[in-house]
Chain A
Amino acid sequence: MDSTETFTQRAFLPPFANYQLDIAYDEMFTPEGQPRPNYQYLHQLLLELPATELRQRQHAADITFLNQGITFTVYGGSDGTERIFPYDLLPRIITSDEWATIEKGLTQRIIALNLFLKDIYHEAHILNDKIVPKALVYSCRYFRREMMGLRVPNDIYVSIAGIDLIRLSDGQFVVLEDNLRVPSGVSYMLANRQVMKHVFPRLFSRYDIRPIDHYGQALLATLRSLAPPNCTDPTIALLTPGVFNSAYFEHTFLARQMGIELVEGRDLLIHNNIVYMRTTGGLKRVDVIYRRIDDDFVDPLAFRPDSTLGVAGLLNAYRCGNVSLANAIGTGIADDKALYAYVPAIIRYYLKEDPILQNVETYLLTDKSQRNYVLEHLGELVVKAVGESGGYGMLIGPHSTQEQREQFRKRILVEPRNYIAQPTLSFSRAPCFLDGQVEPRHVDLRPYILYGKQVTIVPGGLTRVALRRGSLVVNSSQGGGSKDTWILYD
């Protein structure tokens, strides 16, 4: 019996009639077509509930998102604009054992990456020991020489991370991408949970789900722990690029959850290397800034001079230790897509441990033999630009045209350091409620990691879904949606 037969032999009952298993790991069904234990009740419920009722609940959820204005901004559209982030009604359910591994693995990874950042901005032992090539670090456009020799509070550079995981055919979670600069999406994790409780309380109450509502407090505690020395009651502000940023909703949401001021660059000014915000009662000193603006834009005097989003003089105030930034400047070197290939070695180097979560196999195009292999196999691989995010600047080999492959071949030959390649992975699929049917779609998982006095990972994350059939791209800007993500108690 060949493998395709195994996957198609079993016919499912409605609303699963269109549900096809393939080589990708299915979150709900075993390869034999049996529901996994954690999905059993949901499966049963879907068989029993009439499709109209599911539709009503989906509709209620969409209306809630729209009325609450839980939206993101689409760049480049002319209609200006705000869209709701498509929400799939069916939760993604993760067992406590699976979560335990993820939690340990992420904790290990974030600690190692912070040690790495401290090292390369100080003595650079790891470069001298030739574990990571010097050229790779110093050629990275996110490496900030302004940070050399600067001590940051508690030696923590990355206080807030969102690390993207995917699940391979064997059920194992692996790291796809580290987001260590200004990761977004956590507000959708929280909003999805609220909406789920609202529209599907019966389903919710049947499971023992670990709560995530304390994320705001945990984030606030993390930011407080970064306060400059001698500052016992820090004034904390969230710095947003403003209302036109795609994640503006999230900025307002987090500021309110934490009860801190949401400021824009124009609300701040710097005098004698001290940061002030402009209030109705005069100027007020700011001690910690959770900045949701990229390094390039935070200070027009230090970085891009044409930026109007940041504050002139912020870097100097930061270097004087009068204000703390989360995340620190220059963390982008650690989530460079080429450096990613070295993270397992980084973990071994600093922690003397084996990585708990594996990497995806990655080809570095600066290496001649790897590059030649990639150029010969462009049709099978995924090529990514190292400095891009949001699903832009990607070639997905099996879905590409000859012309696109030629374009990437040329670009790779011109700037090999700018690209990496990975095998096209068949990452896991989860059931989604689409147009009255339940069908599988590819999903990833982005848990949010906080690192203040200790590492805190709120049990959950954002499950992003590639809603187009067959699509592997989960980014919201590319037709992705999201699901509520449940971590179960033991």
Chain B
Amino acid sequence: MLSRVADSLYWMSRYLERAEHTARLLDVNLHQMLDQTPESANQRWERLLASLRIPSPKEGTNDVYSITRLLIFDAANSASIVACILAARENARQVREQLSSEMWEQLNRLFLQVKRTSMDESWRREPHEFFKSVKEGVHLLQGITDTTMSHDEGWQFIQIGRFLERANSTATLLDNHFNTIGQLDYLSWIGLLKSCTAFEAYCKVYTADIRPEYVAEFLLLDVTFPHSIHFSVDIMQNELKAISRRTNARDAFRAERLAGRLQAALDYGQVDEIMASNLHLFLENIRQQCAQIHTAIHEIFIAYPADSALDS
């Protein structure tokens, strides 16, 4: 597979995951805001922006309407839903022949739909509908991808992009919540779980007994829940292994080893120990390792120096 193509598939997938993540976070928070006082609402918005790594806007533009617009429509803001879907489509357009026609059509439809929507219209008609359509659009695309595309190298790069993005953004999200939420603020803990579509899955394991250490354990270490960090890293490691076997690229073991190291930390990690030592550092470490894996993939498969490739 062409390096440029692998790169575009990887980024297409990351941007789609990001769009869905933003849509879900906004949806959950707008909904929960209905139950809150103005002070806690302010705190909520700050947390939301920090979770998406967006600097707080200036005074006077931090009302609900402005922030929602910033996160949906501001094309200059790289985490906004519109910016992510535009970027995903632009990446897809460059490798269009690698996608199945069905995938391209669905992505294009999602793009046209988001482009058509205006802020005032989505606000008037309840933004929830809009978020729902974005989430469903992305889910549909993922389903189409899994059923219409060969699960070969291209698909594997798509998987890595999606789950690397997910591990990274979930780590950021957890970090910001564990920093700021009080032990008994059930509503916020439920909000965190819902932001990862994890509330129902959590209840099946722990019942509705919401405790921060359980929440941390579930979102960090659960091996079967698709939004947990452990699950995401397992997939990354698997796909990286498959790609290095398939391509025989020089140095491929380096990326595999990085992913394997992160996987081991999650495999053998204990939530009580992590919480007792320093959860923030642990999450920060996960983010750094994700960044290292990203860099390694780029250096090994995408932008390797031609000289070294000619020697072999």
Q: Which of B249, B306, B310, B312 contacts A280 (CB 8 A)?
A: B249
19 A-B pairs (CB sep. < 8 Å): A68-B105, A69-B96, A69-B105, A69-B108, A248-B93, A262-B95, A267-B2, A269-B306, A278-B2, A278-B306, A279-B1, A279-B2, A280-B6, A280-B247, A282-B247, A282-B248, A282-B304, A282-B312, A283-B309
Whether the Cβ atoms of A67 and B112 lie closer than 8 Å is yes
Could you give, for residues 62-96 of chain B, a 1 whenever the CB lies within 8 Å of some chain A CB and a 0 otherwise? 00000000000000000000000000001001111
Knowing A256-B97, A261-B2, A263-B2, the reply to whether A282 touches B249 (Cβ < 8 A) is yes
Q: Is the CB of B3 within 8 A of A252?
A: no
Bound together, the chains give a CA A101 to CA B21 distance in angstroms of: 61
Contact partner of B302 (CB less than 8 A), chosen from A67, A280, A282, is: A280
| Inter-subunit contact A67/B2 (CB<8 Å) | no
Contact of B202 with A by CB under 8 A = no
Interface residues of B (CB under 8 A from A): 1-4, 6, 90, 93-98, 101, 104-105, 108-109, 112, 153, 243, 246-250, 301-302, 304, 306, 309-310, 312
* A68 adjacent to B310 (CB under 8 Å): no
Report the Cα distance A279→B301, complex, angstroms.
Answer: 7
Contacts between chains A and B (CB distance < 8 A), count = 76
A251 to B104, CA, bound (A): 15
Fill in one digit per residue for A256-299: 1 if any B CB lies within 8 Å of its CB, else 0.
Answer: 10000111101101010000011111110000000000000000
| A251–B98 alpha-carbon span in the complex (Å) | 12
- Chain A contacts of B93 at CB under 8 A? 69, 243, 248
Q: Residues of A contacting B304 with CB < 8 Å?
A: 282
Tell me which residues across on chain A come within 8 A of B249, comparing CB atoms.
280-282
Cα(A10)–Cα(B21), bound, Å: 66
Chain B residues lying within 8 Å of A261, measured Cβ to Cβ, are 2
Contact between A253 and B97, CB atoms less than 8 A apart: yes
Residues of B within 8 A of A279 (CB): 1-3, 247
Question: For residue B312, which residue of chain A has the nearest CB?
Answer: A282
Residue among A69, A255, A278 with most chain B CB within 10 A: A69
Tally of A interface residues using CB under 8 Å? 28
Query: How many angstroms from the CA of A206 to the CA of B237 in the assembled complex?
Result: 56
Report the Cα distance A67→B112, complex, angstroms. Answer: 8
Q: Counting CB contacts under 8 A, is A413 at the interface?
A: no
Which chain B residues border A67 with CB–CB below 8 Å?
105, 108-109, 112
Neighbour of B301 across the interface among A68, A267, A280, CB < 8 A: A280
Contact A282 B108, beta carbon cutoff 8 Å: no
Interface assignment of A66: CB less than 8 Å from any CB of chain B = yes
Q: Across the interface, which residues of A come within 8 angstroms of B243, CB to CB? A: 280
- Chain A interface main SS type: mixed
Partner of B101, one of A68, A255, A266, A278: A68
Q: How far is the CB of A209 from the nearest CB of chain B, in Å? A: 23
Scan residues 63-85 of chain A and give those whose CB is less than 8 A from a CB of chain B: 66-69
When the two chains form their complex, are residues A281 and B247 in contact, meaning their CB atoms are under 8 A apart? Answer: yes
Question: How long is the Cα–Cα vector from A262 to B93 in the complex, in angstroms?
Answer: 12
Contact A280 B3, CB 8 Å, known A252-B96, A253-B97: yes
Q: Are A282 and B250 in contact (CB under 8 A)?
A: yes
Q: How far is the CB of A184 from chain B (nearest CB, A)?
A: 16
A282: B residues at CB distance < 8 A: 247-250, 304, 309, 312
Closest to A249 in B: B96
Q: Contact: A278 with B108, CB < 8 Å? A: no
Residues of the A chain whose Cβ atoms lie less than 8 Å from the Cβ of B153: 280
Q: Which residue on B lies nearest to A256, using beta carbons?
A: B97
Find out whether the CB atom of B4 lies under 8 angstroms from the CB atom of A267. yes
Which residues from B are CB-within-8-Å of A255?
97
Give chain B nearest CB distance to A282 CB in angstroms.
5
Whose C-beta in chain B lies nearest to the C-beta of A242?
B94
Q: A249-B96, A281-B246 are in contact. List 7 more A-B contacts (CB 8 A).
A: A67-B105, A67-B109, A243-B90, A251-B97, A267-B4, A280-B6, A283-B306
The residue on A at minimum CB distance from B154 is A280
CB closest chain-B residue, reference A238? B97
**Which of B93, B105, B246, B248: most chain A Cβ within 10 A?**
B93
User: Is B97's CB under 8 angstroms from A66's CB?
Assistant: no
